[in-house]
Amino acid sequence: MSITASMVKELRERTGAGMMECKKALTEAGGDMEAAIEQMRITGLAKADKKSGNTAAEGVVEIKISDDGKRFALVEINSQTDFAAKSEDFIGFVQAVTQAVLDDQPATVADIKVGGRDVEEVRKELVAKIGENIQVRRFVAGTSAGGQLAQYSHSGRIGVVTELAGGDEATAKDIAMHVAANNPHCVDESGVPAEMLEKEKSILMAEAAESGKPAEIIEKMVQGRIRKYLADITLVGQPFVKDPDQTVEKVLKSAGATVTAFHRLEVGEGIEKKVENFAEEVMAQVRGD
């Protein structure tokens, strides 16, 4: 059967694949459009499985807050390269996933549905189309307990959502910006895990013991250093990013606000990225590795 340009055009529109790939699929399927689509899907999913072992440490963090200001979604989706993360297909996928998380508030990544389909199925199709490993890595979603939600995005690389009781929108946005810049561990001392504090204290005690000072002096030295440590890792104890002469606690107090929660995601955080020669990376893309 002769493969016409209109057949190739239709297959491209239905699959998003390249012209030569569509022509080849139609030829192998004897002009059967549905059989060509099925075979391309099988081939594409196989390619996607092969790509799943590649490190995906680039990408974006997307944020959405519902129109009523009560619900939020903060999602990290990774790609292998920054180039792929800027493509229309990737951006569309990110926006669709984030909207689904906002609407459905799923418990895990596996529970996300995009257009009624499992997110994994949609992800694999995108991998086959883009030619890179794509991963929906993690998300945070929730509902405000009545406070003020605010968001801040730093170039799509860092995303923050804060919830304040009291205060105003400007204060909430400023605090979100501070969290993005300074990455506090928790809101205040009550949020510091006991084991984390004990570990730090034991390290400081060992360091102070080397000074040879009396035990009571060492105890006071350690207490002072613990106070500084807590100020460094807690939001309220940190110097405010827009005015380092005052702490975040003072800024909140003057605005009549308290932070009930904050959430921060950073692209690639904790992922060990493989360093490759750029020329080799380009050739790997050309070869389809």
Taking only the tens place, the pLDDT of each residue in 22-62 is 888 889 889 998 888 777 766 664 454 455 556 778 999 99
Residues recorded for the chain: 289
Provide the sign of the torsion angle of the four alpha carbons 167, 172, 173, 174, taken in this order. positive
Q: CA 205, CA 200: separation in Å to the nearest integer?
A: 9
CATH code of residue 152: 3.30.479.20
CA distance 211 to 204: 11
pTM above 0.95, yes or no: no
Number of H helices, E strands in the chain: 11, 10
Instruction: Tell me the pLDDT band of 2, cut-offs 50, 70 and 90.
Output: confident
Clarify whether residues 99 and 78 are in a common domain.
yes
Residue 13's pLDDT band, with cuts at 50, 70 and 90, is confident
User: Quick one: 154 and 40 in the same domain?
Assistant: no
Q: Does residue 229 lie within any of the structural domains?
A: no
Residue 120 lies in a domain: yes
pLDDT per residue as tens digits for the range 75-99: 999 999 899 999 999 999 999 999 9
pLDDT at 274: 57
103 plus 162 within the same structural domain: yes
Q: What is the DSSP string of 65-99?
A: E-TTSSEEEEEEEEESSHHHHTSHHHHHHHHHHHH
Per-residue pLDDT of 157-174, as tens digits, reads 999 999 999 999 999 999
In a domain, 90, yes or no: yes
State the residue range of the domain holding 9: 5-51
Q: Which of 120, 139, 140 is closest to 52 using CA atoms?
A: 120
